[in-house]
Homo-oligomer: A and B are copies of this chain.
Amino acid sequence: MADVAQLAGVSSQTVSRVSNGFPGVTEETRQQVMAAMRELGYRPNSAARALKRGEFRTLGVITFSLSTHGNIRTLEAIATSAARHGYAVTLLPVAVPTQDEVNGAFSRLGELAVDAVIVIMEIHLLDAATVSLPPGVQVVVADSDAGDRYTVVDTDQAGGARDAVRHLLDLGHDTVWHLAGPEGSFAAQRRANAWRDALTGAGVTPPPLVRGDWSAESGYRAGLRLADHHDCTAVFAANDQMALGLLRALHERGRRVPDDVSVIGFDDLPESASFLPPLTTIHQDFAEVGRLCVESIITKIRQGGTAHGTTLVPTRLVRRASTGAPAGAREGG
């Protein structure tokens, strides 16, 4: 900066003013400084800036691997949204979702140049962490439920699951089976609860719950079992990947979709429209979740608020070929 100032024949403070776009600098001086900056290839030192300003203009994102479609979409939205606000995004990967790894990420976070953290993770891992988040670091949690302790932005899991069940009941199915996600997952739990509530609310006794682990493979295994229940005409899978495995199992066992069995998923992956048959599913607006995370955390940084609350992002039913009226209804109707 001093070099630039010397070359332009001004003081370093004037260079700083130009560099930050402050007013009170003659157009002529500004041009001279800019020319000097270009000539010397000057780039402001962000470390010194951060030191002086007391903030890094950087957001940390803690997420357990980038393995799921939803997390990635959310992360992407966070990154672009943060860039628009002049913030950078630093990744804090957690290789495996164990307590040790989470603790490690938290302690690394302590040394990291971030003003705030967005956590995309099952909240129980956060709760059980023995290493606490550094004080003065704002937190927003995506995709979880802890509105009383943290600021949360989440998809309306319950609403989406309810819509899925209702869609199938409206088509004339007597009941809806549920292929749930793993027990440890709150998202899975909430979708399962909403499924159960929607059924009992409609006066239907829920059939036994079938569990997978989000993977297509687990959906396939569950599908092989479900194919044997010939009274099962409608299945709500807790995500699209399990639905994919389910479709394959049903096909192998000669159960036609949607003629014999209707299948609905949850997520709306880009590929879901190309499944065999194209999958009816609940669309999640991950981009909106990411955007809201950034908005809300920047508000928190500016205002230093400590209020918590939950923002719900609505889902949308996407109707495709994998759901239809049950054979009985068609024959009878």
* Residues in chain A within 8 A of chain B (CB atoms): 41, 43-51, 56, 58, 65-67, 72-73, 75-76, 79-80, 83, 88-93, 95, 108, 110-113, 134-135, 215-217, 219-220, 241, 244-245, 247-248, 251, 270-271, 273-276, 278
Contacts and interface: CB of A to CB of B under 8 A. Distances in A.
A113 B113 contact: yes
A56 to B, nearest CB: 7
Contacts of A112: 46, 88
Contacts of A48: 47, 51
A303 to B, nearest CB: 22
A87 to B, nearest CB: 10
15 contacts: A41-B135, A46-B56, A47-B47, A47-B113, A48-B51, A58-B90, A66-B75, A75-B91, A89-B93, A113-B113, A217-B273, A219-B274, A241-B270, A244-B271, A248-B276
This chain's copy number in the assembly? 2
A130 to B, nearest CB: 13
A91 B89 contact: yes
Given A47-B113, A65-B76, A111-B44, A217 B274 contact: yes
A89 B88 contact: no
B216 A271 contact: yes
